[in-house]
Amino acid sequence: MAYVTHPITKEDHEWVGDLLELNKKILGGKLPLVRWARCHAKNDHWVAIGESAFAHFRAKRNGIVTLYEIAVAEDSKRKGMGRALIGYMRGPGPALRPIELKTDAENEESNAFYLGLGMKRVGQKKTKKGKVVNLYMG
């Protein structure tokens, strides 16, 4: 199924915040509106599929996309929305942009998702808080 992505607006802030809060163990909880606005000013991209899924990423000058957050509402999982958001970030055509990201090493669901997309785990590191994260590129 093809999904249409749209840029997130201030009107989307509440449901995105709710989705962040539901996934706070992984994503850190609600995003204060001030930080969200500041991210927009830094040329970060926030895109959504309806009110069911969103992604926050930055396309860097070197052509690599850094994924910061991605979340899909529980009742919308396993319907291809996460895959569609990743596809959007990679861009159209044969010269797809590579994506780099970090995810909780203990989160089996997210690690399986990225491996299922063909991404490669390129390492691990500890965060400042001591949590181990997997580094992916693909």
Contact between 99 and 138 (Cβ < 8 Å): yes
Strands (E), 1-138: 6-7, 45-49, 53-59, 65-72, 99-104, 120-126, 132-137
User: Distance of CA 11 to CAs 57, 66, 80, 106, 132, Å?
Assistant: 19, 25, 24, 33, 34
Residue 60 is given by DSSP the state: -
> Nearest CA to 106 among 134, 135, 69?
134
Note down the domain range covering 129. 98-138
Same-domain check for residues 90 and 33: yes
- Same domain? For 53 and 8 the reply is yes
Q: How much is the pTM?
A: 0.84
Indicate if 37 and 52 belong to the same structural domain.
yes
Domain shared by 35 and 59, yes or no: yes
What percentage of residues in the chain have a pLDDT greater than 70?
84
79 shares a domain with 134:
no
Q: For the segment 56-82, what is each residue's pLDDT rounded down to a tens digit?
A: 899 888 889 999 889 999 999 999 999
Q: How confident is the model at residue 108 (pLDDT cuts 50, 70, 90)?
A: very high
Residue 39 shares a structural domain with residue 103: no
CATH of the domain at 27: 3.40.630.30
Same domain, 116 and 58: no
- Lowest-pLDDT choice from 22-31, 42-51, 55-64, 122-131: 22-31
DSSP for 109-120 reads HHHHHHHHTT-E
